[in-house]
Structure 1
């Protein structure tokens, strides 16, 4: 699977986990040169999500990547993984 933003592959892996229709990529597959800081947080049944923004070819997508540093027991399969908001294309 590939995550593509602004024409650039920002993550790629054959080892994704699907939860509620979202593909979670291994955090190590995220290309850090496109990642920028975000202090955004949300919470749900999976735990507290933290976010990164993406900056590709001068285009910023705020809060585009989320992850759960300490997921709930029910969401343990997403620990060490990241997912992407709409506007980041997920393709095979």
Structure 2
């Protein structure tokens, strides 16, 4: 683990995390996978914002942990879940940083969904 490159967000690669003031609902068809008013919106560099939802607001009975992992030098090691009802299309569709780096510590205990695998509704109050 010590040989992994770590990078800090900065002017060349900014990362901001802010509470999303709106309700965020994640669905697979009619199946609600997550529903929260406590999502965090992570904006990394020029990438689209990613909604991180508290684990407490996610239906983990619909998910299955996988062995897949990835590494981000800004955030750390990501673990993955598959959406069982989606079959092969749902493989590794959900990720989480269980021990994120300090710069993004707010996303600990949150998960994110690939928007091309599910419907992510942001409902303004």
Fold match, TM over 0.5?
Answer: yes
Deviation of residue 7 (structure 1)? 2.5
Q: Secondary structure at the match of 2:100?
A: coil
The aligned counterpart of 2:80 is 51
Q: Secondary structure at the match of 2:105?
A: helix
Instruction: Give the number of the structure whose residues are more often strand, by fraction.
Output: 1
CA distance in 2 between counterparts of 1:28 and 1:6 reads: 21
List 4+ stretches of structure 1 deviating above 3 A: none
CA distance in 2 between counterparts of 1:37 and 1:17 reads: 22
> Can you list the C-alpha shifts for 1:13-32, whole angstroms capped at 9, x where unaligned?
00000012010000111102
Alpha-carbon RMSD: 1.0
**For this pair of structures, how many residues does the alignment match?**
90
- Counting only pairs closer than 5 Å after superposition, residues 1-92 of structure 1 correspond to structure 2 as 1-20=24-43, 21-44=49-72, 45-56=74-85, 59-60=86-87, 61-85=90-114, 86-91=116-121, 92=123
CA distance in 2 between counterparts of 1:55 and 1:2 reads: 18
> Can you list the C-alpha shifts for 1:60-87, whole angstroms capped at 9, x where unaligned?
2000110001000111110000000122
Calculate the TM-score normalised by the size of structure 2: 0.68
Q: Which structure carries more relative contact order (alpha carbon 8 Å, separation 6+)?
A: 1
Calculate the TM-score normalised by the size of structure 1: 0.91
Deviation of residue 6 (structure 1)? 3.0
